[in-house]
A = this chain, B = another copy of it.
Amino acid sequence: MLERFKVPEKDRVYVSHERIRAVTEAIFRHSGVPASEAAGSTDVLIKNDLRGVESHGVSNGLRRYVSEYGSGKLNPTPNFKVTRESKTTMTIDADRALGTQVGPWAMQQAIDRAKEFGMGAVAVTNSGHLAGCGYYAMMAAQQGMIGHCMTAGGSHQTVPTWGSKPVMGTNPIAWAAPARKMPPFLFDVATTQVAGNKIGLARRTGAKIMGGWIADLEGEPILEEIDPPNNGEYYLLHIGGTRENGSHKGFGLALMNEIICNELSGYGPGPIRRTPGGHFFQAYDIEAFTDREKFLDDMDELLKYIADVPPAKGFERVVYAGLLEDEDEKKRTNDGIPYHREVIEWFESYCAEAGIECDLR
């Protein structure tokens, strides 16, 4: 994540992952989520925070989830229904589960199928926010497989190339692959110039929005650096930004995501249905293609080669996707996670009202 999105030093409250985990689990349980699934959802969010992906941790997400449980939009005790399956695939109606509640289960189903048949995939509909895709892809990598995850949640946020009206959401994608000694590959991005949550983060951290990241309400890319606008006052741009700079590539990736998460899952066009879209989880068993031990050695050789590339002028080092996240995870596991004090204040005030013990300082 770019430095500008990190919490400024003066606003940081460091909290151990054990403490924030305990309180987050208690908040999920307070919303009616069974204990083991509360722990599962919490693990998704805290792993994101540990890996430095705070756009998809507790800071932005939790208050929204609590409100969606409160309003009945999310079902805390869903029954997942298999609507179709084949030897390698499953399609699931998640009964209004939060994405973090169905996601770990769905990814494990894909992994189990891959163990038996070489590949496995699970498509999920009727589910809430997934909190990014990286966690699920990494589940496969941790079990010695290549993992892939996408979610098409949200719509009408992103202007297509040459268009004046928004169509899709930020449609994030992730792939992960294990290595032996080097930190694993973990590629986990929105198919927009910046993730939607990052505009909110920028408002909190006081960061600027770069030219070419977002568009005005006529769909014109804003090319100068500006303060983050309020919700409803901008649209996002696909990866690339402008057509000449390749935004059709980001737009095409986002549409691939929409087609697999929403049409292949049987849900239907997200931009037209306008309700929460689908998720997609896939695992490739390395042993189905090649020798896993050789793969791990080759990955070490490849990733070390990249990390050893001499940096360009003005930069300190070259990193691959997953390297900084792995370093963040080790550092934050030891030092605690730097939350914005405003986030901690929300936890404290919510817990006081709900009668939940909240020992974060």
Contact partner, A241, options B117, B245, B258, B310, Cβ 8 Å: B245
Per the CB 8 Å criterion, the residue count for chain A at the interface is 89
The reply to whether B86 and A251 form a contact with Cβ atoms under 8 Å apart is no
A146: which of B185, B259, B316 is its contact (CB, 8 Å)?
B259
A240, A289, A310: residue with the most chain B Cβ atoms closer than 10 Å: A289
CB pairs A–B below 8 angstroms (29 shown): A84-B290, A86-B118, A88-B288, A89-B289, A121-B289, A161-B318, A162-B312, A162-B317, A163-B310, A163-B311, A163-B318, A175-B259, A187-B252, A187-B253, A189-B248, A193-B245, A241-B246, A248-B321, A252-B321, A255-B320, A258-B302, A259-B299, A263-B295, A263-B299, A266-B294, A269-B301, A269-B302, A271-B305, A272-B301
Instruction: Evaluate contact between A164 and B244: CB separation under 8 angstroms.
Output: no
Apart from A163-B312, A259-B299, what are 19 other A-B pairs with CB-CB below 8 Å? A2-B244, A83-B290, A87-B118, A88-B119, A89-B288, A162-B312, A164-B309, A165-B310, A189-B249, A210-B245, A248-B321, A251-B321, A252-B320, A259-B302, A262-B298, A263-B290, A263-B299, A265-B290, A268-B294
**Can you list, as one digit per residue, whether each of A175-209 has a CB less than 8 Å from chain B (1) or not (0)?**
10100000001010100010000000000000000
Stretch touching chain B among A8-16, A20-28, A70-78, A212-220: A212-220
Give, as a whole number of angstroms, the nearest-CB distance from A87 to chain B.
5
Interface assignment of A356: CB less than 8 Å from any CB of chain B? no
A116 to chain B, nearest CB (A): 8
| A198 CA to B292 CA, complexed, in Å | 37
CB of A284 closer than 8 Å to a CB of B: yes
Residues B309 and A165 in contact, CB atoms below 8 Å apart: yes
A contacts, CB < 8 Å to B: 2, 83-89, 91, 117-121, 123, 146, 159-165, 167, 175, 177, 185, 187, 189, 193, 210, 212, 218-220, 239-241, 244-246, 248-253, 255-256, 258-260, 262-266, 268-269, 271-272, 284-291, 294-295, 298-299, 301-302, 305-306, 309-313, 315-321
| A268 to B: closest C-beta gap in Å | 5
